[in-house]
Structure 1
Amino acid sequence: MKISLNSMQGLCQRYGCLDNLVPEGVDNLVTKIGAQLGEIEDITYVKNQYDKAVIVHVVSVEKHPNADKLHVCMVDDGGRTPEVSRSQDKTVQVVCGAPNVRAGMLAVWLPPGATVPDSYSKDPFVLEARELRGVISNGMLASPKELALGDKHDGILEVNDDGIAKPGMMFGDAYELTDDVQIDIENKMFTHRPDCFGFLGVAREMAGIQGLTFKSPDWYTPDAAIAEPETDTLALELRNELPSLVQRFMLLPMRDVQVGASPVWLQVELAKVGVKSINNIVDYTNFFMLETGQPLHAYDYDKVKALSGGDGAVIEVRNPRDNERIKLLNGKEIDPRQEAIMIATDKALIGVGGVMGGSETEVDENTKNIILEVGTFDMYSVRRTSMEHGLFTDAVTRFNKGQSPLQNRAVLAKVVDEIRKFAGGKVAGPVIDDNQAEGRQWVHPPVPVTADFINARLGFSLSPEDIKVILEHVEFQVAIEGNKLSVT
């Protein structure tokens, strides 16, 4: 489980979980994690990877005199790198071949002497001022791939006008990379803790081992309010034929989404923990999976509708039919096993439940309408399907642990709100919630235990009051009667 301390700190402050997750310094926290949570496999201090990357304003772009596909750009770094050769107006000349470079944009400049971040931990590539077809280029304007933010290298990174970045700022400072520490905790520690496959769960445990009181976000509640329909309805039908294997399956259609590159802060947040940026819709679903441990999926509504037999989109949860195949998002085509949980229309397969979506309904730059899915899939079925087809995804890792259906509504509500705010989407129908637990009363019975029982197993000498404080730090409720505790 890879975490970024800056991201964890930001999460806690953003949601009001606690003020400071690292009150005694990084070294002290790392020691406590290793002693009380689990083995630390790796620690990365990010500072040097981005130490020379600068946000610049592209002042002008002219055609290269000797190359059709190159441009001669003048960039303003706010004087951040004084040792670099400059024109009379204090701008710096950089040759760039990216098709999306244009005057007025903000970009990331790697000056002479900078190491390309993507090469930092492999075979470091240090830039220098060099001649490109007869014109001097002082370093380069960087693509997302060169900045280790994903695989996209067909254009330079466009730094959004998000109020964070300004010309002359160091890229690492703007996006909280300069002082970040990334920790990889061995997964076995969390084997029976599905909540700890989300940052909220890990932050709760980190608070507990430091004697800090953690509070879950206000939005993280089983009865979270989901935005009501606000535009013309998109017809959508759900049929769950596997209720014993899919305890809860939620769908929500959205209209008029604007699919494009994610804001840079989101690309950075994903890259910190090794997740590649795809587009803003997919990235938001991945971001909240990382925060909560609950995987989500987004389908292109119109593609699903085209594969359905009626006037609207039909989604079925079922086993595969004879001779049905599916091409997945990773390009692999499979014949699913007969018992596999499949997501389908009434005519075709569109996903492997809890594992991976199909390529025919993926969200891309042409997508206008989407369907959001939040499901709870049987952990044993997901594991068998994953092993049989060699499909190991972030979703599989989490569903393998048995995610709780109680968090589905909260996660869906949060993602819907984010897409409405930042991708222009409008809710285009009521939430469809096939909840096999509906009507049951979810009861958390108190667990009776004595201080003697706990001390005998820990080798400690804790009073009932000590135990009460420790458990309350991680959101348990504890009542004491003599030497006995009742824990909820």
Structure 2
Amino acid sequence: MKVSLNLIKQLINFELPPVDELVARVNQQLGGVEEVIDLKAKYGGARIVRVVECVKHPDADRLSVTKIDDGGAVADVPRDENGLVQVVCGAPNVHAGMWAIWLPPKSTVPASFNDDEPFVLDARPLRGVLSQGMLAAADELDIGTDHEGIIEIHEHDMPAGVELTAGASFAETFGLDDYVLDIENKMFTHRPDCFGQLGVAREIAGIFHQQFASPDWYKSVQQFTNAEGLELTVINDVPELVPRFMAVVIRDVTVQPSPLWLQCQLVAMGGKPINNIVDATNYMMLLTAQPTHAYDYDKLRGHKLEARLAFDGEKVSLLNGKEYELTSDDIVIADGEGVIGLAGIMGGADTEVSDGTKNIVLECANFDMYALRRTAMRHGIFTDALTRFNKGQSPLQNAAVLKQLMGMVGGVQASEVFDLKQFDDWLDDYFGGKYTPANIDIDSKFINERLGLGLSDDDICDLLNSVEIKSHGPEEELDYICIQSPFWRTDLELPEDIVEEVGRLYGFDKLPRQLPMRSIKSAPKNPRRELKNAVRQSLSRAGANEVLTYSFVHERILKNAEQDVAQAYKLSNALSPDLQYYRLTVLPSLLDKVHANIKAGHDEFALFEMGKGHIKMHGLGEDGLPEASQFTDIVYAAKKPGAGAPFYTIRRLVEQLAHDLGAELVFKPIEEELNFPVTAPFDQSRSALVDTTDGQFIGIVGELKQSVIKNFKLPMYVAAASLDTAGLEAVYAKRASHYQPLSRYPSTSRDISLKLPAHVNYASVAQSIDRVLEAVEIGVAFHVVSIYQPPDDTSTKTLTFRLAFTSHQRTLIDSDITPIIESIQQTMQQTYGAELV
């Protein structure tokens, strides 16, 4: 957002401080200044001159030798006996008696000012005749693109009250002795008014505690005259998306270059002159932040202007020279036969104002910012008008802007002013309609407690009134400040907004360094956040790496995981073609990252992520949004076999996580095929469901289907876990301290190998060993070391367990351990017919 300080000075009633001080205050209290542009340095050398003599060059048909009068303003330049300076000019329109702009020797051509090697003029001969500098064309001055001739200044080009004077500074005369502040746009995301010079001027007055007054034409109730002469039909088919749609026909306009003062004003505000009609619309937009548009009336088929939704497949050619195919979600402007523009974004090429235009239609409308944002993203079109509509412009300023614009374009009003809106009257709306700005009642104590200040009611009212936020102290029977937001402050809704506004205008840097006058009791800990921190610590200690992926995925990711795409929500306004769907679970996003890490040279690793999934079968919540499921998913991958099957590696990670969270787990085989998005990627014959010992469901752990491994190009040794974060949270909430002091006595371990029928699963054997150990007085922990099945005998398998024995009272001996192993052996033999090998 470029801000012209010369224009700001015209809108305020006090002297601005030096630029450095102003920039510091703006940075602190308004927005980040990215750049300060010194236009005087760019245009300071240019002078307004009168061409006194003009004759043809003796040796060049296309050159003229002129004598110019600069009033003696430029020193050290050779002059004739009449004090005139000789300049050779190649422009076809140069003639005696004209007023022009002279760039004398040693001055820089403005168009090259920002080049790595700016073009600095000097006195030099042209075809044998010495020329002192040059007379400038619009493109050389960087205020237009015209190079057909030099700029000729007429009386109507001059700013009001300024006369043509030979030798006058061009920059000072036309307001280009200016500093321009380029303020970062994102600072104003919630402030649509600050995308216009008027809004920024108001805020600058406020931060210097000076009273600002908007121009009378901007705040007053507008009265339009009736007129006729040219027929126009105006229709608004989508009032819910187009809150206000205004239009009027103007006849007998003359399309020509704008007065030079307007062209220079546009340049100072970051615009580019085109012609007087388009320049007037851009000037009003840059001044007030309200975009407008002009159509060639005679190109409107059926003399009709309509706001509606496009039909699927309709096409439109826009001013950028490109054709777009539209959808039924696009708001468009149409005439009697088809689309002529994308509403609020860009006009169409078929109704463009051109040199031959005689009659125009001026449009001043307001559009739903979310609908425009989706259209812009869909078609990849971004314009200055869209930038402003994107922020939520108020429809209550349209009438004032349109009336001011009508006075700038010339011509004669030739129709009524059409005003299709959702409210009856500007004043009615201001005091109670749909778009009513907020009325907020607040007391000074509420503000002071949050800012640590002791401002009086009058102090607060003065700060707010300076930026035209109407406020007055409490009446006798009331004990609060009454605040009425102006229509351009759509961001003021809550008492806290007023606190922020008062703090900003007062100066956050001036707040006292003391504790706020309110409770400083710490907020209760967030259980979900505490859980996530505990999960991160546990898994990272175990060697896993956390990743963060998008909640949106490509359809390919869902299909690769063999999940049902029909169960996923599809986004109508995707960030990119690769992010079309809400993911169903987190695991596919992790699997998609494995191949890239393997290619990068990581032979063995584990990844985890805590995130959300959205499944259609879960329906919508009370807020009308898809219900979210919380997942903590882990994937282990290796190019070479590790210590045991991948299943046991991922199982150990899950067991360690559960232990750190204060729970013991039970792994159950999947006896019946499960058909859920969570289980879809898993080979359920090599997976297990996970519960806590008290029955809390945790998730699924296992190896993946071979088809999923192939789809994601995964290594052969891969396993995963998909855990329910809500289940982990329930476990964590019930945790108790599981700290046990280490025994002073050494532990001892024994391995036992049991040969069992192949159909006996590990979980059953582990549960049987648990029951035996419940009756043992010393501490015994066990885990599986290996599962072996001979290649020539598929009817049996051998499970090898390692048991660790610990006592806190004494050193254990063989007679303590042998009975326990014999009891396990006897139980296994009786229950499963196992042999000890």
TM-score scaled by length of structure 1: 0.91
User: Can you list the C-alpha shifts for 1:347-382, whole angstroms capped at 9, x where unaligned?
Assistant: 132211101111221112221111100010110111
Deviation at 1:198, TM superposition (A): 1.3
- Give 3-state SS (helix, strand or coil) of 2:304's partner: strand
Q: 1:437 aligns with which of 423, 431, 453?
A: 423
Does residue 79 (structure 1) correspond to residue 97 (structure 2)? The answer is no
What is the aligned partner in structure 1 of residue 63 from structure 2? Answer: 70
What is the aligned partner in structure 1 of residue 132 from structure 2? Answer: 138
Deviation at 1:20, TM superposition (A): 1.7
Q: 1:290 aligns with which of 286, 289, 293?
A: 286
* Greater mean alpha carbon deviation, residues 381-390 or residues 63-72: 63-72
* Greater mean alpha carbon deviation, residues 55-64 or residues 348-357: 55-64
Higher RCO structure, 1 or 2 (CA under 8 Å, sep 6+): 1
Q: 1:426 to 1:464 in 2, by over 3 A?
A: same
Q: 1:401 aligns with which of 391, 415, 436?
A: 391
The question of whether the paired residues in 2 share the 8 Å contact of 1:222 and 1:409 is answered with no
* Greater mean alpha carbon deviation, residues 45-54 or residues 240-249: 45-54
* Greater mean alpha carbon deviation, residues 362-371 or residues 448-457: 448-457
Alignment of 1:420-459 (within 5 A): 420=410, 425-438=411-424, 441-443=429-431, 444=437, 446-459=439-452
What is the aligned partner in structure 2 of residue 381 from structure 1? Answer: 371
Distance 1:441 1:44 in 2: 41
Q: 1:349 to 1:475 in 2, by over 3 A?
A: same
The question of whether the paired residues in 1 share the 8 Å contact of 2:110 and 2:140 is answered with yes
Does residue 184 (structure 1) correspond to residue 182 (structure 2)? The answer is yes
Q: 1:336 to 1:76 in 2, by over 3 A?
A: farther
Does residue 412 (structure 1) correspond to residue 402 (structure 2)? The answer is yes
The question of whether the paired residues in 1 share the 8 Å contact of 2:312 and 2:326 is answered with no
Deviation at 1:456, TM superposition (A): 3.4
Q: 2:141 aligns with which of 130, 147, 151?
A: 147
Deviation at 1:228, TM superposition (A): 4.2
User: Can you list the C-alpha shifts for 1:154-201, whole angstroms capped at 9, x where unaligned?
Assistant: 3222223134432210111212323x2211122222111111111111
What is the aligned partner in structure 1 of residue 469 from structure 2? Answer: 476
Does residue 233 (structure 1) correspond to residue 229 (structure 2)? The answer is yes
Q: 1:265 aligns with which of 244, 249, 261?
A: 261
* Greater mean alpha carbon deviation, residues 143-152 or residues 293-302: 143-152
User: Can you list the C-alpha shifts for 1:375-430, whole angstroms capped at 9, x where unaligned?
Assistant: 1011011112222222221101100001111100000111112223xxxx111111
User: Can you list the C-alpha shifts for 1:203-224, whole angstroms capped at 9, x where unaligned?
Assistant: 1111111111111211113621
User: Can you list the C-alpha shifts for 1:243-276, whole angstroms capped at 9, x where unaligned?
Assistant: 2111111111111112211111111111012200
What is the aligned partner in structure 2 of residue 363 from structure 1? Answer: 353
Does residue 331 (structure 1) correspond to residue 325 (structure 2)? The answer is no
Distance 2:381 2:67 in 1: 46
Residue 158 of structure 1 aligns with an amino acid whose one-letter code is E
Deviation at 1:321, TM superposition (A): 3.6
Residue 266 of structure 2 aligns with an amino acid whose one-letter code is L
Alignment of 1:46-125 (within 5 A): 46-122=39-115, 123-125=117-119
Distance 1:275 1:438 in 2: 35
Q: 1:88 to 1:392 in 2, by over 3 A?
A: same
Distance 2:354 2:466 in 1: 43
Distance 1:303 1:69 in 2: 40
* Greater mean alpha carbon deviation, residues 25-34 or residues 46-55: 25-34
The question of whether the paired residues in 2 share the 8 Å contact of 1:21 and 1:206 is answered with no
What is the aligned partner in structure 1 of residue 569 from structure 2? Answer: none
Q: 1:172 to 1:442 in 2, by over 3 A?
A: closer
Distance 1:21 1:288 in 2: 25
The question of whether the paired residues in 2 share the 8 Å contact of 1:72 and 1:95 is answered with yes
Deviation at 1:29, TM superposition (A): 2.4
- Give 3-state SS (helix, strand or coil) of 1:68's partner: strand
What is the aligned partner in structure 2 of residue 204 from structure 1? Answer: 202
The question of whether the paired residues in 2 share the 8 Å contact of 1:380 and 1:400 is answered with yes
What is the aligned partner in structure 2 of residue 318 from structure 1? Answer: 308
Distance 2:327 2:134 in 1: 49
User: Can you list the C-alpha shifts for 1:52-106, whole angstroms capped at 9, x where unaligned?
Assistant: 2111112233333333333322222122224222333332222222233232221
Distance 1:27 1:379 in 2: 36
User: Can you list the C-alpha shifts for 1:281-331, whole angstroms capped at 9, x where unaligned?
Assistant: 111111111111100111111122xxx14xxx1112123345432222222
Between structure 1 and structure 2, the one with the greater Rg is 2
The question of whether the paired residues in 2 share the 8 Å contact of 1:41 and 1:185 is answered with yes
Distance 1:300 1:97 in 2: 36
Residue 374 of structure 1 aligns with an amino acid whose one-letter code is C
Q: 1:328 to 1:70 in 2, by over 3 A?
A: farther
The question of whether the paired residues in 2 share the 8 Å contact of 1:222 and 1:407 is answered with no
- Give 3-state SS (helix, strand or coil) of 1:30's partner: helix
Distance 1:319 1:100 in 2: 49
Distance 1:441 1:465 in 2: 29
Residue 349 of structure 2 aligns with an amino acid whose one-letter code is S
The question of whether the paired residues in 2 share the 8 Å contact of 1:259 and 1:279 is answered with yes
Distance 2:20 2:4 in 1: 14
Distance 2:311 2:270 in 1: 36
Q: 1:153 to 1:456 in 2, by over 3 A?
A: farther
Q: 1:165 to 1:389 in 2, by over 3 A?
A: farther
The question of whether the paired residues in 2 share the 8 Å contact of 1:227 and 1:413 is answered with no
Deviation at 1:21, TM superposition (A): 5.1
What is the aligned partner in structure 2 of residue 302 from structure 1? Answer: 298
The question of whether the paired residues in 2 share the 8 Å contact of 1:227 and 1:417 is answered with no
Distance 1:135 1:332 in 2: 48
* Greater mean alpha carbon deviation, residues 70-79 or residues 101-110: 70-79
Name structure 2 gaps, 5 residues minimum: 432-436, 485-837
* Greater mean alpha carbon deviation, residues 232-241 or residues 128-137: 128-137
- Give 3-state SS (helix, strand or coil) of 2:419's partner: strand
* Greater mean alpha carbon deviation, residues 159-168 or residues 439-448: 439-448
Distance 2:89 2:304 in 1: 47
What is the aligned partner in structure 1 of residue 799 from structure 2? Answer: none
Residue 316 of structure 1 aligns with an amino acid whose one-letter code is E
Q: 1:324 to 1:131 in 2, by over 3 A?
A: farther
Distance 1:445 1:380 in 2: 21
What is the aligned partner in structure 2 of residue 15 from structure 1? Answer: none
TM-score scaled by length of structure 2: 0.54
Does residue 44 (structure 1) correspond to residue 37 (structure 2)? The answer is yes
* Greater mean alpha carbon deviation, residues 188-197 or residues 322-331: 322-331
Distance 1:140 1:336 in 2: 50
Distance 1:372 1:449 in 2: 42
Distance 2:453 2:147 in 1: 55
Q: Tell me the C-alpha RMSD between the 2 structures.
A: 2.0
Q: 1:390 aligns with which of 376, 380, 389?
A: 380
Residue 170 of structure 1 aligns with an amino acid whose one-letter code is S
Residue 49 of structure 1 aligns with an amino acid whose one-letter code is K
The question of whether the paired residues in 2 share the 8 Å contact of 1:49 and 1:120 is answered with yes
**Number of paired residues?**
468
Q: 1:301 to 1:29 in 2, by over 3 A?
A: same
What is the aligned partner in structure 1 of residue 817 from structure 2? Answer: none
Q: 1:227 to 1:27 in 2, by over 3 A?
A: farther
Residue 138 of structure 1 aligns with an amino acid whose one-letter code is Q
Deviation at 1:483, TM superposition (A): 5.8
Q: Which runs of 4+ in 1 moved over 4 A?
A: none
- Give 3-state SS (helix, strand or coil) of 2:144's partner: coil
